[in-house]
Structure 1
Amino acid sequence: MSVDETIDGVPVTEDQIAAWATEAEAGYDVAALKKRGRGRPGRGAEPSQVVALRLTSEELAQLDARAAHENKTRSEFIRDALAAYAA
């Protein structure tokens, strides 16, 4: 194993690999693994769609500044702006 291998900045050791192998050989509770969520949490009952949008660096900087001023993420700010515009 390469000495440069890390997980979240922590070096992976041969002992850790052996422990993972022992755990895998003992088997996993598949039902418990399937219950674990993957990806980002949903925003509602239906899946959300990703919409690509091209902005200039100036537009993006203005958007980020306004979002920060309102203590919102970029996505929250855009969703709120769209909801206000559509109302």
Structure 2
Amino acid sequence: MTADRIDPREYVINDDATISDIDLETEEFTLRDGRRLTDELAKELAAQALDEIRRRNLIPGRKSLSGDGSHSPAIRVRVPAQLRRQAENRAAADGVTLSE
């Protein structure tokens, strides 16, 4: 991917826009920044736009522990302070959060 990021919000297709296919090898199309659009660059820009859209639409939370996509139930327990510290230390050593 290129270092230049494209913000999909900057590109709005109005109702009066004409959309058509072009052969980028024979027809020249120039981006606002002056770069010529090639098939390779078009694929990179499309991937960037999809990545950005997916990033914005992420749903918070973790994957299902059941493996089938269903909600994983959570439980809450009370423990002595020493056991909590041990659990926190173990989680830190394993590189995970306490809830994991």
TM-score above 0.5:
no
Return the TM-score normalized by structure 2.
0.34
Higher RCO (C-alpha under 8 Å, 6+ residues apart): 2
Higher helix proportion (structure 1 or 2): 1
The structure that has the greater radius of gyration is: 2
